[in-house]
Amino acid sequence: MNRKNSVDDYFQPGGKEAGDQKRIGWFCTYVPEEIMLAGGFEPVRLMGEKRLRTSESYFPINFCPYLKSGWESLMGPRENLAAAVFTNSCDGMRRLYDMAEYYLQDTPLFMLDVPRNTYPDSVDFYSLQLKKMLGFIEGLKGSSIDEEDLLHAAEICDRKRSRLQELSGSFFREGGGIDIPDYYRLMELSATAGTEAFLEGIDDLMDNVAAAGNDNSGGPRVMIVGNFITEEKLWHMFSELDMKIAADDLCISSRYYENTVGAGRGCSRKEILDLLAKRYLHKPACMRMAHTGAKLEEIKAKVRDRGIQGVIFISLKFCDTMLYSFPLVRKEMAEMKVPVLYLEIEYNNFSEGQLKTRTQAFLEML
């Protein structure tokens, strides 16, 4: 990275307007940012407080660390946060919503019901849920949201996704002139920096990284499979080791930006909601979805197409859907003769020495 000191420098929200815009917090990539944007709100993914002070006393010890961090941040100052949107994505997230509903009575909350199946009736059902979410946002806004608002928002979000796909394609193929920690920081920013600010900054950044050469290029070709992995120290650790991340399947990257909505002029509100429902239910799946077989095929296709030599499966602790998926991923990879390394981390807390030694040994084996 050159010209500017860090990735963050490209995405500073500018002007008073950006600072004053009301934000809506969200946690899960199944929440359509389009609906919040269409209501004039800035969707911001809640990354959670990495330092826990009181949330431990609300949840059991063996509970998702990201959700505990999310709860810590919701209990803290929530300046400019007009509302928070949750999903019934997993047991942990449902319990987080319960906590918020009970203890945060001053903040409007919405629970979005996301089906686990992807059949046509599931898409229809999801579209109905999106309509309810639209009603919630209209309530916050105090006026209705028309198809023009929705189309505009869908177009902006698709643009963001396309830019991210372009950048990621380049990062995974050639290294993209951006190193591993910067790439994943960029992924975080794409969901937190503000949509307009991100779109303004990404072009500038891509012009610069294109000229910067390869930073994710050496070593064995590795695929990262994981959940909500935002551990800066981990990305630095990978960067120091001789490896090339040639594909990933993560909640903060490919599952966020792949697939577009593609709503065109003339679409009615219902048609746009149907398209949103389709896009979100058919994007690369989280392990919480029913069709684990389809998920395994997605992973296998990336392993095949990108010449992956080894898979690093990283899970935040106590994520059941990940933990149940690991034996299957391992079995499928064994059939493809691709070794798998299993790493488990807390949120902002892991034993770096041990993980580094294990990763090094894994890479040497490759």
Partner 1 sequence: MGVREKIKTNIRRNLNRDYLRRLLGILARKPVLYAYGTTFSSCSDKYLNIFTIENIRDSYDARKPVVFGSLFLPYELFHALGTVPFLPEVMAGFTAGLGLADQTLKKASSSWYSQDLCTFHRSASGAVEMDLFPDPAFIVCTNLACDAAQKSFYHYALTYGIEKKYHLLDVPYDNDRDSVKYLAGQLERLAGSISRDTGQEIDRERFARTIELSNQFREYALKINDIRRRLTLYPQNFNGLNLILPFHGLAGTENAVRLYRSIYRELKDLLLEQEKKGQAKKPRKILWMHLKPYYRTEIFDLIKDGGCIVAAEEINNVYWPRLDPEKPFESLALKMLSHPLTGKASNRIKALGEMIDSHGIDGGILFTHWGCRQSNGSTRLIKDFFRSKKIPVLVLDGDCVDRTNSSEGQIKTRLQGFIEILR
Residues that bind partner 1 (CB under 8 A): 57-60, 62-64, 88, 90-92, 94-95, 97-99, 101-102, 111, 113, 115-117, 121-122, 125, 128, 287-288, 290, 292-293, 317-318, 320-321, 323-328, 330-331, 342
Nearer to partner 1, 187 or 299 (CB): 299
Nearer to partner 1, 109 or 140 (CB): 109
Nearer to partner 1, 115 or 175 (CB): 115
* Cβ 193 vs Cβ 15: under 8 Å: no
CB of 259 to partner 1, least distance (A): 21
Nearer to partner 1, 101 or 174 (CB): 101
CB of 288 to partner 1, least distance (A): 7
CA atoms of 288 and 117, how far apart (whole Å): 10
Nearer to partner 1, 3 or 53 (CB): 53
Burial 229-250, CB ≥16 within 10 A → b, else e: bbbeebbebbbebebbbbbbbb
Contacts of 178 (CB under 8 A, 6+ apart): 1, 167, 171, 186, 209, 212, 215, 216
Own/partner contacts of 93-99, CB < 8 Å, gap of 24 or more, are 93/27, 93/28, 93/67, 95/59, 95/63, 95/67, 96/27, 96/67, 96/70, 96/71, 99/58, 99/59, 99/71
Nearer to partner 1, 166 or 346 (CB): 346
DSSP-based three-state secondary structure for 308: coil
CA angle 47, 154, 182 (to 5 degrees): 40
CB of 111 to partner 1, least distance (A): 6
CB of 6 to partner 1, least distance (A): 36
CB of 94 to partner 1, least distance (A): 7
CA atoms of 171 and 92, how far apart (whole Å): 33
CB of 220 to partner 1, least distance (A): 22
